[in-house]
Structure 1
Amino acid sequence: MKRLPFVLLILLLAGSFLAFKSSIARSGPPPGKYEQIMELVGQLLAQAHFSPQNIDDKFSEKVFDKFMSDLDHEKNIFLKSDYDSLKALYGDAIDDEIKGAPVKSFLAISSVFDRRNAEATKWTTAILNRPFDYKTNESVQLDGDQLQYPANEKEREDRWRKKLKYLSLERYVDLLDERKSNKGQKGYAVKTDAQLEKEARLKTDTVMTRFFERYKVKFTADDKFNMFMLAITNIMDPHTDFMPPLDKRYFDEEMSGTFYGIGALLQQGDGKIKIVSCNVGSPAAKSGQLEPGDIITKVAQGDGPSEDLMGYGVQDAVKLIRGKEGTIVKLTIKKPNGTIKVVSLKREKIVNDIDTYARSAIVNDSSKNTKTGIIYLPEFYAAFDDANGRRSSIDVAKEVQKLKDAKVDGIVIDLRNNGGGSLYDVVQMVGLFVGKGPVVQVKDRINRANVLDVKDDSVLYDGPLAVMVNEFSASASEIFAAAIQDYGRGVIIGSTSTYGKGTVQRNIGLDAKTGITYGESDLGTVKLTLQKFYRISGGSTQLKGVEPDIVLASPLEGAKVRERDNKDALPYDEISKAAYTPWKSAWNLPELKTMSNERLKSDSVFRIIKDDAQWLAKENDRSYPLNIDTYRQERKEIKQKADQIVAVSRLKNRLNVSLLPNDPNTTNIEDKNKEDRIKKWQKSLSEDIYLDQAVDVVNDMANIDKLAKNGHVAAPAVH
């Protein structure tokens, strides 16, 4: 494991800064793990963050408020007196702890939280033992941002009563509807309203019991400390994170698309972790002892003690089951017939190629005699620790070549929901379509601006190109879309803007002896914002994102899911543009936008989506009724709008989508589970109204190119 002194790391990453030095004079015992982590994190934030805030009393108060809110977002756990007393003691002390003082704040807050949570557990049982009156006109507010902490026990208990009443009302109405639809069916036992009301409360009690069990079993002191550290780092900016060792490993696995595990797909159901399927050739499948429907009740590392999965979510269970290659994991399995057995498996390399890696397909339009290739890229993946591991830029180049060999008329790159990834790979990927030249500008905290460019002059593909994005296309996706847009190389299509993440992070491990490490860390890892990136045209994608050339209404347009909706996000700014030469093409953007708008005028689908999405967004910003008649009416209206969006979002006349023959990514797959997922993807493409519009735009570009080559129109000037 390679370790470097902290100061050397800072010199390498972001310029010259002060050395590690505690501002607290210590006496007494040496610092514990929590103190070590907080001080290391504090020094990283202060000395290396792109835009550090002063770690002072004001910063401390923001961390305090965020941690309290993260623990109790609905404001039904803590009392106002809890908040006031804890803030008086610790509101201005967290900055001192970050600088080396003994850690007391999070422990004190956690202690009060655990005590109040235990009280809520008792209240829940008592409240759900009594019938609810659903004729009363009252409502419940579940958004803590619109609430103050309850003034007294009575107010807090009433908030719990209303929350439990709302949860039970949802289930009660579902049971009433089920009775209505099944009435008269042979063998269906019709229950009274009172029986269904009681059943609804029992269902709610089951859900809440699991909720509290999860707190009791899974929400340990370390878990709360990790949340506390995340509050500290996120106050600097939303993408500076603290990751404990297991979370860091999971992050790396998701980025690379490979991990060492057993090859079983898991699902949570009825509070249990169930096996859904086993990958062909995986340890789970080869053992012959695991099958769909098995429940994993415990996990042990080799001969170590078993950890009970009661209250665990799927992601938490996965982190325990995965591990180092060749190590043993023991699963305690409960079979569908009730028998219990312990299964010992050796972890092997598992490749998550279906959900992680690039793949392509072709949309065939017989009426226009065109073929449009689509490349789906879920993330800009890279196996950073494996020189022979897969990289997104290399895989995309392979998919482009496949489509060229298939003689497609144009290509669509689908970056919807792509949250980003490797900066190196996005630069290389832009080069496939643009060739030599700058791609993105990166600026560090001392205002050094570097241009990241492509050195290779060759262009792999120079034909019609469209890039599909949405509000969840972030980071590297935005770099790619921005570069294609700035060069005028292709057309960007999607919702009003992308996510708006214009910052660059690097993972820095915390080491008890040396301060920092590049390898595995026993104290955790900080994903630290070190730089900000800018378009070659000078503007940042931070907050603003990339605004598509052709805008299509999105069902989530009114939802507050973008970077600009986070109050701790860094600001937008601009720098000087880079020197670059725009792409020359026969088509021009205004002409393509006009042609697209003409099609959209006769298509009411996107207008319906826009109107319904705006209506639903407003509905989310208010309280919920607890009167059954009002609830039914509101639910009916919401369902109508949501169902309408779903209905119009599927093409009536499906696209003819074919997979490339003999493509190992999508055809001749032995694993039935993977094969089913590929077929599902193929079907979703055929019904995709957004892809339909993108294909039309690419066809417009291809037609203009053909006309220009045949001498019917003159190629316009560089745009």
Structure 2
Amino acid sequence: MKLVFPCTLMALAIMTNTAAAPVAAQKDASIWVARVLDRLRYKTEGQPEGANGHPFDRFIEALDSERMVFTQASLANMANQRVQLDKLTSEKQMDTLNGIFSDYLARSVALHTYRQEALRQAPAFHGHEQFQRERSKARWEPDDTALRDLWRRQVMDDYLNLRLAGVSEDQVIPTLQRRYERNLQRVQAMRYGDVADLFLQAYVESYDPHGAYLAPGKTSPEHLLGDMVGIGLTLQKKDDLITVLEVVPGTDADRSGDIAPGDRIIGVAQGIGQPMQEVIGWKVDEVAALLRGAPGSQLVIDILPQGIPRGQVARRIIVTRTKVQLDDQRTKGRIERIARGANNYRIGVITIPTFYQDYTARRAGAKDYLSVSRDVAAAVAQMKQQKADAILLDMRNNGGGSLSEAIELTGLFLPGVPVVQQISSDRRLTVERTPLAAPAWNGPLAVLIDRRSAAATEIIAAAIQDYGRGLVLGDLSYGRGSVQTVLSLDRFSTDSSKAYGDVRLTVAVLCRAGGKPIQRFGVTPDISIPGYVDMTGKANADLYGGANCKTQDIAKSGALDALLPKLNALHTSRMQVARPEGDIAQSQLKEAIAVLSDVAAQARQEPRP
């Protein structure tokens, strides 16, 4: 059976797509995207191009992430279009997107029509049918007959999910009708610019897994909510659900501890007692708009925690909108006092949530420009005045940033030594050294990391560990050893009225000072202190595996290695007596402080009580 598209619906699809005429600037931009990727990105030796997926395939997956529109047969019929989009060499290739989107739009209209018809009759549940809810890894149905049956089972599953979630029977069908109507409206609202942006993003990702195309006037996904009056979340869309990518430090979402990366937002209400707006299938910017509002106002959010399948009962939380201030994201230090019998220890805790630097002020020659390494140096100086016995660098959830800042920060504790090897896109190997100066701190030191500690954070932790300067505590880190830069394509435009956007691309890979890659391996802690379980996916373990760094010996102090068996024994005994309770992150930090106080006790040459 083949899907039949009524004439009125097909006309609507054609009319919508006609309004989406190709934009000259985007067609020009496509060529520069391809040229920049080909010439400047880091290419893994021995890895064939397209190893991260064909541009056509990634584009289709972006359009139809749930495998509910296309079929194996319809995709086979687009074999010529797949070839045409293999590698961009002419702006005319972008015209291929029109035909693909016309088919997608017509099929989306047919899906909507079927859903509305199916809701006019009560679903029949026989107890013997199944529907795969997590669709991102599902196969496309072989043909239109199988696809129509999939639609039928999805409507039944959506109906059942709402009933299980507590929606009254008389409200289930109206709720689904609104959901399906909104889904179609979003598709019909798409224009060529949206389709072209989607394809260029897919094209970049097929060649550079850490790359991105940033359309003109759009900010990087990592900072979608950076200047908002909201709750402090960075969002992305995964499998038709809005997923939390990052919780911004210092915001109400961060302080509450109720939201974690990997959680899915499925509903938003503008205050207690207000109607809950379902946001399944919405775009990121649409949900972001719901989250923004007046400072101090409240939001009620339905959360599907990471790892919990769709269809389960959501967790409802209340958060307050607050303006994100730079000071909330800056490095902060404090002293934790630990009493052990007659002995008291002062453990300095420096929280480093992100890397930052005022590049403009630095380039202008300002002497007091803002930077994370300077803030850490100031915190260390203050802790020395407060007679700290040891210092803990809390770098959990820190996804990295400026490489130069990572080197400067490492130099506060390891001056004048090689800390990282960098292989550029032209295969030049550079060994980066920290500045030669007096160390800011000579006492006991530890770095606390977790599964979301990445890139620049891993450079610091690896160097502290490699030279035996301090302990690394917590979880295995993320394992992202690559360097990205953002290149403006507007420099190639000969017409000031045409904006091409930006490309973020990988330009180098990193290895530890001794030559071991960071990518794939991450940093393994000296003492494991489990934190939150990370369920956001593997750390791109198969990427950039061919980095040939230079193996070299590192002059490592053996003092901590000799102490590790005793420290591990003390840690194990504490964990057996007092199981972590309440907030996992706080329990992890508490134990890290306890381990460091053990080191401080040894440094004082006092017996451990």
State the TM-score bracket (shorter-chain normalisation). 0.7 to 0.9
The answer to whether the 8 Å contact 1:79/1:152 transfers is yes
1:481 equivalent in alignment to 2:461: yes
Quick one: which of 36, 50, 58 aligns to 1:66? 58
Between the aligned partners of 2:528 and 2:462, the Cα distance in structure 1 is 15
The answer to whether the 8 Å contact 2:357/2:371 transfers is yes
The answer to whether the 8 Å contact 2:44/2:547 transfers is no
The answer to whether the 8 Å contact 2:390/2:597 transfers is yes
Between the aligned partners of 2:51 and 2:85, the Cα distance in structure 1 is 8
Between the aligned partners of 2:149 and 2:460, the Cα distance in structure 1 is 51
* Aligned residue in 1 for 2:218: 247
Check 1:115–1:146 CA distance in 2 against 1; reply closer, same or farther (3 A cut).
Answer: same
* Aligned residue in 2 for 1:562: 538
Quick one: which of 439, 446, 452 aligns to 1:466? 446
* Aligned residue in 2 for 1:699: 597
Check 1:216–1:359 CA distance in 2 against 1; reply closer, same or farther (3 A cut).
Answer: farther
2:212 maps to amino acid? D
Between the aligned partners of 1:216 and 1:393, the Cα distance in structure 2 is 49
Between the aligned partners of 1:232 and 1:144, the Cα distance in structure 2 is 22
| CA shift for structure 1 position 478 | 1.1
1:547 equivalent in alignment to 2:527: no
Check 1:456–1:574 CA distance in 2 against 1; reply closer, same or farther (3 A cut).
Answer: same
| CA shift for structure 1 position 690 | 0.8
1:576 equivalent in alignment to 2:515: no
Between the aligned partners of 1:521 and 1:484, the Cα distance in structure 2 is 48
* Aligned residue in 2 for 1:117: 108
1:509 equivalent in alignment to 2:488: yes
Between the aligned partners of 2:460 and 2:286, the Cα distance in structure 1 is 30
* Aligned residue in 1 for 2:380: 400
Between the aligned partners of 2:386 and 2:44, the Cα distance in structure 1 is 51
The answer to whether the 8 Å contact 1:60/1:95 transfers is no
1:526 equivalent in alignment to 2:503: yes
Check 1:55–1:362 CA distance in 2 against 1; reply closer, same or farther (3 A cut).
Answer: closer
* Aligned residue in 2 for 1:231: 202
The answer to whether the 8 Å contact 2:482/2:506 transfers is yes
1:356 maps to amino acid? Q
* Aligned residue in 1 for 2:478: 499
1:419 equivalent in alignment to 2:410: no
* Matched residue SS, 1:424: helix
2:481 maps to amino acid? G
Task: Output one character per residue of 1:618-637: Cα deviation in whole Å (capped at 9) or x when no partner.
Answer: xxxxxxxxxxxxxxxxxxxx
Task: Output one character per residue of 1:460-482: Cα deviation in whole Å (capped at 9) or x when no partner.
Answer: 12222222222211111111111
* Aligned residue in 2 for 1:538: 515
Task: Report 1:579-618 matches (<5 A).
Answer: 580-583=554-557, 585=559, 588-602=563-577
Check 1:100–1:210 CA distance in 2 against 1; reply closer, same or farther (3 A cut).
Answer: closer
* Matched residue SS, 2:373: helix
| CA shift for structure 1 position 704 | 0.8
Task: Output one character per residue of 1:370-406: Cα deviation in whole Å (capped at 9) or x when no partner.
Answer: 2322222222123334436632212222223333333
* Matched residue SS, 1:36: helix
The answer to whether the 8 Å contact 1:131/1:197 transfers is no
1:46 equivalent in alignment to 2:46: no
| CA shift for structure 1 position 98 | 3.7
Between the aligned partners of 2:387 and 2:415, the Cα distance in structure 1 is 21
**Greater helix share, 1 or 2?**
1
Between the aligned partners of 1:249 and 1:598, the Cα distance in structure 2 is 46
| CA shift for structure 1 position 169 | 2.5
* Aligned residue in 2 for 1:633: none
| CA shift for structure 1 position 162 | 2.8
1:64 maps to amino acid? F
* Matched residue SS, 1:532: strand
Quick one: which of 157, 161, 179 aligns to 1:170? 161
| CA shift for structure 1 position 490 | 1.6
The answer to whether the 8 Å contact 1:372/1:411 transfers is yes
1:142 equivalent in alignment to 2:118: no
1:650 equivalent in alignment to 2:583: yes
Between the aligned partners of 1:393 and 1:97, the Cα distance in structure 2 is 42
Check 1:556–1:123 CA distance in 2 against 1; reply closer, same or farther (3 A cut).
Answer: farther
The answer to whether the 8 Å contact 1:478/1:498 transfers is yes
Task: Output one character per residue of 1:84-138: Cα deviation in whole Å (capped at 9) or x when no partner.
Answer: 111x121111135345543233232222222222222223323334333456232
Check 1:370–1:60 CA distance in 2 against 1; reply closer, same or farther (3 A cut).
Answer: closer
1:451 equivalent in alignment to 2:451: no
* Aligned residue in 1 for 2:144: 153
| CA shift for structure 1 position 590 | 3.5
| CA shift for structure 1 position 486 | 0.8
Check 1:492–1:521 CA distance in 2 against 1; reply closer, same or farther (3 A cut).
Answer: farther
| CA shift for structure 1 position 425 | 0.6
Aligned residues: 511
The answer to whether the 8 Å contact 1:440/1:535 transfers is yes
In terms of mean alpha carbon deviation, does 456-465 or 529-538 score higher? 456-465
Task: Report 1:349-388 matches (<5 A).
Answer: 352-353=325-326, 355-367=328-340, 369-387=344-362
Check 1:209–1:576 CA distance in 2 against 1; reply closer, same or farther (3 A cut).
Answer: same
Between the aligned partners of 2:186 and 2:81, the Cα distance in structure 1 is 27
* Matched residue SS, 1:238: coil
2:519 maps to amino acid? Q
Task: Output one character per residue of 1:164-187: Cα deviation in whole Å (capped at 9) or x when no partner.
Answer: 3333323312328xxxxxxxxxxx
* Matched residue SS, 1:452: strand
| CA shift for structure 1 position 508 | 1.0
* Aligned residue in 1 for 2:370: 390
Task: Report 1:139-288 matches (<5 A).
Answer: 139-144=130-135, 146-175=137-166, 196-217=168-189, 219-248=190-219
* Aligned residue in 2 for 1:347: none
What is the Cα-based RMSD across aligned positions, in Å? Answer: 4.0
Between the aligned partners of 1:493 and 1:580, the Cα distance in structure 2 is 21
Percent identity over the alignment? 24
* Aligned residue in 1 for 2:414: 434
Between the aligned partners of 2:370 and 2:223, the Cα distance in structure 1 is 13
Task: Output one character per residue of 1:304-335: Cα deviation in whole Å (capped at 9) or x when no partner.
Answer: xxxxxx9664578669x99xxxxxxxx9xxxx
| CA shift for structure 1 position 367 | 4.4
| CA shift for structure 1 position 537 | 1.4
| CA shift for structure 1 position 149 | 1.5
Task: Output one character per residue of 1:69-92: Cα deviation in whole Å (capped at 9) or x when no partner.
Answer: 122122111122221111x12111
Task: Output one character per residue of 1:499-541: Cα deviation in whole Å (capped at 9) or x when no partner.
Answer: 1111111111112645899xx9921111121111110011111
Between the aligned partners of 2:388 and 2:159, the Cα distance in structure 1 is 55
Between the aligned partners of 1:41 and 1:197, the Cα distance in structure 2 is 51
Between the aligned partners of 1:433 and 1:39, the Cα distance in structure 2 is 46
Check 1:245–1:138 CA distance in 2 against 1; reply closer, same or farther (3 A cut).
Answer: same
Between the aligned partners of 2:55 and 2:45, the Cα distance in structure 1 is 12
| CA shift for structure 1 position 248 | 3.8
* Aligned residue in 1 for 2:96: 105
Between the aligned partners of 2:152 and 2:356, the Cα distance in structure 1 is 46
Between the aligned partners of 1:410 and 1:212, the Cα distance in structure 2 is 59
In terms of mean alpha carbon deviation, does 392-401 or 123-132 score higher? 123-132
| CA shift for structure 1 position 542 | 0.8
Between the aligned partners of 1:477 and 1:384, the Cα distance in structure 2 is 19
| CA shift for structure 1 position 205 | 3.5
2:326 maps to amino acid? D
| CA shift for structure 1 position 60 | 11
Between the aligned partners of 1:125 and 1:266, the Cα distance in structure 2 is 37
| CA shift for structure 1 position 46 | 1.4
The answer to whether the 8 Å contact 2:490/2:502 transfers is no
Between the aligned partners of 1:395 and 1:215, the Cα distance in structure 2 is 47
| CA shift for structure 1 position 703 | 0.7
* Aligned residue in 2 for 1:640: none
| CA shift for structure 1 position 498 | 1.4
The answer to whether the 8 Å contact 1:49/1:530 transfers is yes
